[in-house]
């Protein structure tokens, strides 16, 4: 393939635009599109009559015709104008409805697929950047639907109809009118080749800048408390300079279209008038025909100039659409097996058999882990930061597929179970309590679709949340701020515990559920947790070892491996890794109160 052939990037852009168009004019909108095009043809037929009637009226004047004939041509022109206005309005309404349908289809496909993706997708795509990219890209796609598509179709039909009429009237003046067209199309081609990659880079730069803006707004407390405002401004300045640089290139190329096309259009009109004058002098045509061609030349050049200007929107939409479809086409890392069956609860026994796991190929976070947890047993999980504690829970809930080995729940292979049935039986209370911007009651009922308000209130009482909820301005109908910002950390955590109680899972996971709260609130939360974990197989991750010392057994991880698994008392008697970890946390005070020194070999994965 030669260098001048269509580059792969341009071919991809064309396919992206076709796909975007499919959302707007495909499927049930095919008949609407056909009707809209038909109405537009009728409207433009009325438009093409107007220059003809103007020319005929001019001939009446130059040939000293009667006023009755002049009025007839004027009336025909008015009727043609009315037809153009009415049918254009109806056609525009139809195209605007299809544009809304197209945008709805893209946004729906985008959001639905995001909801089906696995944790691995969000691990590789930070939420702040992902959200800002979706917003920016949806905006340019919206502009493409609402303006570019309709105007391009109208312009294409207008060019064809005007050319046909011009050829029927006078082929010589038509040739003169077309002299500037190759230059116009050549300019558009050159500008397109320059602007297309520039707009792709602009969309990427905008996504990076918007992602940073959203992250800094979310982390404003940290930035203020650490006095890192200057750092945020400097980093943002670097990102915005990239946007400025790429935007300057992209918009300079696109803005050059207007003066170039306007100049060529004016030059075209001059050629028509000049050539028409010579033809009138030679007796080959009339003044009225030349006047008609002056109007037709404008009707021909206008849509061509408009198409070239609309190409900017199309290029921008192609760049945005590419990123949208990368998300729409993303496949979940974890999917149900073809022969997957629902999980059948048989007590909650959990078995790991030589399990390995890594977030990235070639790198293991968990290595050869084997253990067996009896039904109803409470397991505390501890270890240094980065030891793999949360990762162990992530694979138990099958947020990620394991690299090697096997996980069994009640003797059933985790990889052969449906995700929905598994997660309906596994509840989690995380360190950061996430609440929706909705009422307290809605947040509680979110846990189970068939739960009642009585279930929610009963759960809130067990979680020690009922009293403070009733003290809120509207009680259970109080609308929470984003992430429950109008509640304290402890109150948010108690609501999430109550929400887990509403779900009534068979297996329970707690990940630092009592961190960052005062002693009194911690006691209330722990009381709720004990009720939540009653008669359930449960795992509790903690850095503060005092919160898990009463667990049936404590699992100690270091470097992605289980180095110890036994009760607190037994582990303390063995004086192994857990003993050293426990002593270091209590400032080296041994059981008898004598200070001891411990050298811990902490290994992060």
Q: State the SS3 of 530-566.
A: HHHHCCCEEEEECCCHHHCCCCCEEEEEECCEEEEEE
User: What residues contact 211, with CB distance under 8 A and at least 6 apart?
Assistant: 126, 128, 129, 130, 131, 132, 133
Burial class (CB in 10 A: 0-12, 13-18, 19+), 502: buried
Confidence at residue 593, expressed as pLDDT on a 0 to 100 scale? 43
Which stretches within 402-452 are classed as H helix? 419-423, 440-445
Please name which of 80, 44, 267, 59 lies closest in space to residue 164, comparing C-alpha atoms: 44
Domain range annotation of the chain: 8-328, 337-425+505-605, 432-498
Does 117 score more than 60 pLDDT? Answer: yes
pLDDT tier at 373 (50, 70, 90 boundaries)? very high
Q: 3-state class of 407 per DSSP?
A: strand
Helices (H), 219-286: 220-225, 229-255, 257-281
Q: Is residue 122 scored above 70 in pLDDT?
A: yes
Q: Which pLDDT belongs to residue 38?
A: 94
* The pLDDT of residue 254: 64
pLDDT at 379: 92
Q: Which of 278, 280, 274, 276 is nearest to 293 (CA)?
A: 276
- Fold agreement between 8-328 and 337-425+505-605: no
Cβ distance 314 to 307 under 8 Å?
A: no
Q: What percent of the chain is modeled with pLDDT above 90?
A: 17
Q: What is the DSSP letter of 145?
A: I
Cα angle 425-426-428, degrees, rounded to a multiple of 5: 145
Whole-number Cα distances in Å, 505 to 308, 410, 423, 451: 60, 15, 9, 13
Mean pLDDT confidence for 98-122 = 84
Alpha-carbon distances, residue 425 vs 168, 463, 474, 537, 550 (angstroms): 76, 19, 32, 11, 24
Dihedral sign, CA of 22, 27, 33, 34? positive
Look-up: residue for tokens 């009896």?
A: 374
Q: Which two tokens stand for residue 80?
A: 């043609």
* CA nearest neighbour of 356 among 541, 560, 555: 560
Of 116-120, 127-131, 488-492, 582-586, least confident by mean pLDDT is 127-131
Distances (CA, A) of 141 to 12, 29, 493: 16, 18, 40
CA distance 431 to 473: 26
Q: What is the architecture of the domain spanning 8-328?
A: Up-down Bundle (1.20)
Whether residue 158 contacts residue 150, with contact meaning beta carbons closer than 8 Å, is answered with no
Q: What's the mean pLDDT in 230-246?
A: 78
Separation between Cα atoms, residue 151 and residue 561, nearest integer Å? 63
Q: Which residues pair with 363 in a beta bridge?
A: 360
Distance CA 452, CA 460 (A): 13
Q: Radius of gyration (Cα) for the chain, nearest Å? A: 35
Across the beta sheet with 537-541, what order do the strands follow?
A: 426-429, 507-511, 537-541, 378-382, 553-558, 561-566
Q: Give 341's DSSP letter.
A: B
240 CB burial (10 A radius; 0-12, 13-18, 19+): middle
Q: How many CB atoms lie within 10 A of CB 595?
A: 9
Residue 456: how many CB atoms within 10 A of its CB? 26
User: For 71-100, what is the mean pLDDT?
Assistant: 90
Instruction: Report residue 596's pLDDT band, with 50, 70 and 90 as the boundaries.
Output: very low
Residues 6+ apart with CB under 8 A from 251: none
Q: Which is the CATH superfamily of the domain at 337-425+505-605?
A: P-loop containing nucleotide triphosphate hydrolases (3.40.50.300)
| Distance in angstroms (rounded) separating the CA atoms of residues 137 and 372 | 48
Q: What is the pLDDT of residue 2?
A: 43
d(CA 573, CA 577): 11
pLDDT score of 372: 94
**H or E segment at 361?**
none
Are 466 and 493 in contact, with CB atoms under 8 Å apart?
Answer: no
Q: Which of 186-190, 451-455, 551-555, 568-572 has the lowest average pLDDT?
A: 186-190
What are the Cα distances from residue 415, in Å, to 152, 161, 339, 412? 51, 62, 10, 9
Highest-confidence segment of 244-248, 338-342, 462-466: 338-342
For the chain, the distance separating the N- and C-terminal CA atoms, rounded to the nearest angstrom, is 48
**Mean pLDDT, the chain, whole residue set:** 81
At residue 595 the predicted structure's pLDDT band, cuts being 50, 70 and 90, is very low
Taking alpha carbons only, the member of 96, 271, 82, 247 closest to residue 175 is: 271
Enumerate the H helices of 463-488 as residue ranges.
Answer: 466-470
Residue 591 scores a pLDDT above 60: no
Would you state the structure tokens that stand for residue 303, as one six-digit string?
A: 């849509």
Residues, the chain, total?
605
Q: Quick one: 244 exposed, middle or buried, by C-beta within 10 A (0-12, 13-18, 19+)?
A: middle
Do 203 and 305 touch, CB atoms closer than 8 A? no
Specify the pLDDT at position 91.
92
């Amino acid at each position: 393939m030669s260098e001048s052939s269509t580059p792969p990037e341009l071919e991809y852009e064309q396919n992206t635009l076709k796909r975007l168009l499919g959302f707007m004019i495909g499927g049930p909108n095919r008949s609407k599109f056909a009707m809209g095009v038909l109405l537009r043809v009728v409207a433009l037929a009325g438009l093409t009559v107007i220059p003809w009637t103007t020319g005929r009226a001019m001939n009446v004047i130059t040939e000293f015709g009667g006023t009755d004939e002049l009025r007839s041509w004027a009336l025909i022109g008015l009727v043609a104008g009315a037809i153009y206005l009415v049918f254009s309005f109806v056609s525009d309404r139809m195209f605007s409805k299809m544009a809304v349908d197209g945008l709805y289809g893209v946004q729906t496909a985008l959001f639905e697929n995001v909801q089906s993706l696995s944790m691995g997708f969000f691990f590789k795509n930070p939420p702040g950047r992902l959200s800002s990219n979706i917003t920016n890209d949806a905006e340019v796609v919206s502009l493409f639907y609402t303006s570019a598509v309709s105007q391009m179709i109208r312009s294409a039909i207008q060019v064809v109809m005007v050319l046909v009429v011009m050829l029927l009237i006078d082929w010589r003046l038509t040739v003169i009118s077309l002299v500037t067209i190759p230059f116009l199309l050549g300019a558009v081609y050159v500008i397109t080749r320059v602007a297309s990659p520039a707009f792709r880079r602009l969309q990427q730069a905008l996504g990076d800048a918007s992602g940073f803006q959203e992250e800094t707004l979310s982390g404003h407390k940290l930035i203020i408390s650490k006095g890192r405002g200057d750092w945020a401004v400097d980093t943002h300045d670097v990102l915005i300079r990239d946007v400025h640089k790429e935007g300057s290139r992209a918009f300079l190329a696109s803005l050059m279209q207007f003066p170039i096309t306007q100049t060529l259009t004016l030059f075209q009109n001059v050629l028509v008038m000049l050539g028409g004058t010579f033809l009138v002098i030679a007796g080959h045509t009339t003044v009225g025909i030349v006047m008609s061609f002056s109007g037709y030349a404008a009707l021909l050049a206008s849509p061509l100039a408009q198409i070239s200007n609309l190409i900017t929107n199309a290029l921008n939409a192609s760049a945005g659409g590419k990123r949208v479809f990368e998300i729409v086409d993303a496949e979940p890392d974890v999917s149900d097996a073809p022969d997957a069956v629902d999980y059948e609860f048989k007590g909650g026994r959990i078995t790991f058999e030589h399990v390995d796991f890594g977030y990235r190929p070639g790198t293991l976070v968990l290595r050869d882990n084997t253990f067996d947890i009896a039904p109803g047993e409470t397991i505390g999980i501890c270890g240094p930061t980065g030891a793999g504690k949360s990762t162990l829970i992530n694979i138990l809930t099958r947020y990620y597929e394991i690299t090697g080995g096997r996980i069994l729940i009640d003797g059933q292979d985790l990889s052969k179970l449906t995700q929905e049935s598994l997660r309906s039986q596994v509840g989690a209370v995380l360190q950061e309590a996430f609440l929706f911007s909705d009422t307290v009651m809605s947040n509680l009922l979110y846990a189970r679709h068939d739960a009642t308000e009585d279930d929610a209130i009963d759960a809130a009482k067990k979680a020690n949340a009922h009293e403070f909820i009733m003290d809120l301005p509207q009680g259970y109908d109080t609308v929470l701020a984003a992430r429950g910002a109008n509640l304290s950390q402890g109150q948010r955590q108690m609501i999430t515990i109550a929400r887990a109680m509403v779900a009534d899972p068979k297996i329970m996971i707690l990940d630092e559920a009592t961190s960052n709260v005062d002693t009194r609130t911690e006691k209330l939360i722990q009381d709720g947790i004990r009720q939540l974990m009653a008669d359930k197989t449960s795992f509790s991750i903690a850095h503060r070892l005092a919160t898990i010392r009463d667990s049936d057994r404590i699992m100690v991880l270091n470097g992605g491996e289980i180095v110890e698994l036994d009760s607190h008392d037994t582990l303390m008697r063995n004086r192994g890794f857990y003993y050293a970890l426990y002593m270091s946390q209590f400032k080296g005070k041994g059981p008898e109160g004598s200070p001891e020194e411990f050298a811990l070999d902490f290994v992060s994965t």
